[in-house]
Amino acid sequence: MVLVADLLADTNLTSNYFASDVYVHGSLDLGLLENRRGDRLLALPETLIRAIYSGLDNETGQASMLVLYNCGRWWGKNFYTRFCEELTDYHNRSISSLSMSEFIQALQQCWVTHGWGQISLDNTYKPDGFLVVKIRASAFIDYAPQLERPVGFLEMGALQAFFSELSEQTLHCVQTACESLGAEENCFVLGVEERLALAEAGVEQGLSHAEIMSLLVGQGA
């Protein structure tokens, strides 16, 4: 027989902490948004995002890409810390004790709930030393300036920092497909920097994601 006391003592919660209907709390009267821990959330309207891109372009020109990338790295590192803290507090156990499926589910729901799009991880190339992260309906790329190359510089930096912290090793990130160029989803490849040199070259040549991955896999043959 299951005792009530045992149920109350069970801290291995299975519900998704970042579920939108319970994670975000707001007050129209006060104009405040908070998460379920009481931390403040910031809503970024389309107009503000466009203005940030425009302002950076006017002030820094081509260097705006590097600025966005470095901002993304700062964001990704701090996001990883908060993400782990919230999950650790909720499950009452370390992030390392969560199963991979629990971790990925939390990350996917967190991304959606914050309005950043839909994120997924492709482990197809894991044996070759690469992780592919895919994002659909990006909240940032939609409003980025149109270039003849992928423009997810902010997310590229964020993903690089997040997964570097997670893996405890310095990783590099290259965006190989972009919604701004007509792709169905944005593709980001993570791996050791030296091994991603071919990906950087492939992007400059305008190669597709599949073609770039073939180059990366082939270099190890």
Query: What's the confidence (pLDDT) of residue 53?
Result: 87
Residue-range domains of the chain with CATH: 44-216 (3.30.1380.20)
In angstroms, the CA 46 to CA 140 distance is 9
The number of residues in the chain equals 221
Please report how many Cα atoms fall inside a 13 Å half-sphere around the Cα of residue 205, on the Cβ side. Answer: 12
pLDDT number for residue 220 = 59
* pTM reported for the whole predicted model: 0.88
Q: What's the pLDDT at 7?
A: 36
Intervals of the chain under pLDDT 50 = 1-14
Q: What is the pLDDT of residue 57?
A: 86
With 0-12 / 13-18 / 19 or more C-beta atoms within 10 angstroms meaning exposed / middle / buried, residue 41 is middle
Taking the C-alpha atoms of residue 154 and residue 186, their distance in angstroms, rounded to an integer, is 12
Q: What is the mean pLDDT of the chain?
A: 87
At 131, the amino acid letter reads: L
φ, ψ (nearest 5 deg) of residue 212: -65, -40
Instruction: Give, in order, the Cα–Cα distances in Å from 98 to each of 20, 51, 101, 136, 203.
Output: 21, 40, 8, 26, 36
Q: Is 167 exposed, middle or buried (0-12, 13-18, 19+ CB in 10 A)?
A: exposed
Phi, psi of 30 (to 5 degrees): -95, -15
Q: Give the relative orientation of helices 153-167 and 64-91 as an angle to the nearest 10 degrees.
A: 40
